[in-house]
Amino acid sequence: MLYSNKPFYLNGLFTFLSIINQGIMDIYTFFQLIIVTIAATSAMTLFSYIVSESFRELYKEPVLLTFMLSKLHLELSPNTKETLAWILHYFIGFLFVLSYYFLWVNEILPLSFLIAFLLGFTSGIIGILGWMIMFKMSDHKPKIDFKGYYFQLLLAHIIFGLVAAGIYALSLTVLILTNAHVTV
């Protein structure tokens, strides 16, 4: 593997930097997608935190990721594991946004409210399956209401899809209005 001597969490970064370097994606698009990722992942996470507090349940993805990382027995400090969990959470969000981008820019799917809802719903199903696999692989499971968690996770991803599409559309509008570099 090309980057095998690097920590696992840096492999994705090097992959995306090589995509930019090869001209597959320009730097403006990359930063546009970073902004979309930050907005969509933050909206989803805020929703999860609000639901978590409202129902007095642990539905906070970064906290659960920290829990899962601690079960891997990585020789990292608790603060490093928590930071890594947040980075991983946003990186996964970036992967979803990147997949949406390729669907939109290649005109496989239109940029619309319905498609954003369906992309969020599909992302939610993928997220639920991912969490089910992680919980199944872990010897120690967190004490949470799994059905409630999966339901709120589905809703959170629908919010993610809607915010991602909205911010992406807004960014295209701003780019067009400012006569800047446009990605479509």
**Do 104 and 169 form a contact (C-beta atoms < 8 A)?**
no
**Cα dihedral sign, 163-169-175-181:** positive
Going by C-beta distance under 8 Å and a sequence separation of 6 or more, which residues neighbour residue 2?
Answer: 14
Going by C-beta distance under 8 Å and a sequence separation of 6 or more, which residues neighbour residue 10?
Answer: 3
- How far does Cα 168 stand from its chain's mean position? 15
Encode pLDDT of 83-114 as tens digits. 999 999 999 999 999 999 999 999 999 999 99
Whether the predicted model's global pTM rises above the 0.85 cut: no
Encode pLDDT of 24-73 as tens digits. 678 889 999 999 999 999 999 999 999 999 999 988 898 888 888 877 77
